[in-house]
Amino acid sequence: MGKNENEIIRKKKKKKTGDIIFDTILAIILGIIGISMLYPFIYVLAVSFNHPADTELGGIWLYPRVFSTEAYRLIFMEKDLFRATLLSVSRTVLGTFLTVLCSSMFAYLFTRSDFLLYKPLKAFFFFAMFFGGGGLIPTYMLYLNLNLYDTFWVYIIPHIINLWYVVLFRTYFKSVPADLLEAAKIDGAHDLKVFFKILMPVSKPIYATVALYSAVMQWNSYRDTLYYTTDPKLRTLQYICMQMIKKAEGEKMIDRATMFEIFHGEAVTADPLSLRMAITVVTVVPIICVYPFLQKYFVKGIMVGSMKG
């Protein structure tokens, strides 16, 4: 009996040692992965707060060698920055709300096979999904004929229904028990009431996921400003930041030694790398602030919305 007990204790100790080794190796691997994911953010912050003239020398890894807020000063001295920020926030909030609402309502139609236009809309949907999009010139002409060109609504209306979001919504809606919706209809609820009172509350994960996707797309977009607007009042934050980077890069190509950029009659150093990193910080921070509120829904929403159907 004593021999068996000693053997059991020895096996437990061996197992415990194996667990410790496994946990240690796992911690090291996860630590390396965590550092590799965190380091780009550290590098961006270090370069953005380094003096632009010193950044050209290279060799910055973890912290700014010559601390300076010159790159941020260059960004915030832009006279149209505040207006562009308000415009970007407006298009992000309104565009995200309408995109999520309209795409989800459109997706709800594809869960109703008894809908009168179900088959024609489904055929049109798949045709547009595979062959839609067009080119730059046809899109430009379309917006021009629809009186969207050079208006605020050119940022909103073209994105109201996104076919990929419709797929995500539809697959998630199909995972909702049909008995729940049927019970509501038996109680006298019409389709709109079923959608807003039953389906939306139980679909928070996919709504949060699509809202995050749409918000990031709206916030980061600058090509629509470049192609479809000429009014300076319609310039978004991303477009102005893109212009700053192009100006700095152009000046660097002309004179790599001095790299002076003229902003409002004042000569300031404008290394493109420092400016680009500072702009990255300015434009990414708002999305980072929003993400924690949607994180608990994000993984569940994207997994269920993509896998089930």
Rg of the chain over CA atoms, in angstroms?
27
pLDDT computed for residue 248 by the predictor: 67
| Total Cβ atoms within 10 A of residue 37 | 9
Cβ contacts of residue 69 below 8 Å, gap of 6+? 49
> CA-to-CA distance for 287 and 298, rounded, in angstroms?
14
Pick left, alpha or beta for residue 188 (phi over 0 → left; psi -120 to 50 → alpha; otherwise beta). left
> CA-to-CA distance for 254 and 103, rounded, in angstroms?
48
Mean pLDDT, range 112-131, rounded to an integer: 76
pLDDT computed for residue 37 by the predictor: 85
What string of DSSP letters covers 222-272?
Answer: -HHHHHH---GGG--HHHHHHHHHHHHHHHHHH-TTT-EEEETTEEEE--H
**CB contact at 8 A, 229 and 300:** no
Mean pLDDT, range 264-286, rounded to an integer: 69
In this structure, what token pair is assigned to residue 151?
């208006």
The CATH number of the domain covering residues in 71-236+275-307: 1.10.3720.10
Q: For the chain, which residues make up each domain, given as ranges?
A: 2-48, 71-236+275-307
Mean pLDDT, range 251-274, rounded to an integer: 51
pLDDT exceeds cutoff 80 at 98? yes
Cβ contacts of residue 219 below 8 Å, gap of 6+? 88, 92, 238, 283, 286, 287
- Highest-scoring range by mean pLDDT, 19-23, 96-100, 234-238: 96-100
pLDDT exceeds cutoff 70 at 9? no
State how far the alpha carbon of 11 is from the alpha carbons of 2, 16, 17, 19, 25, in Å: 14, 8, 10, 12, 21
Find the largest Cα–Cα distance for the chain.
93
Confidence of residue 309 (pLDDT cuts 50, 70, 90): very low
> CA-to-CA distance for 55 and 65, rounded, in angstroms?
8
State how far the alpha carbon of 154 is from the alpha carbons of 94, 105, 113, 188, 221, in Å: 12, 21, 33, 40, 12
In this structure, what token pair is assigned to residue 271?
């290394």
User: Does residue 38 or residue 261 have the better pLDDT?
Assistant: 38
> CA-to-CA distance for 101 and 159, rounded, in angstroms?
12
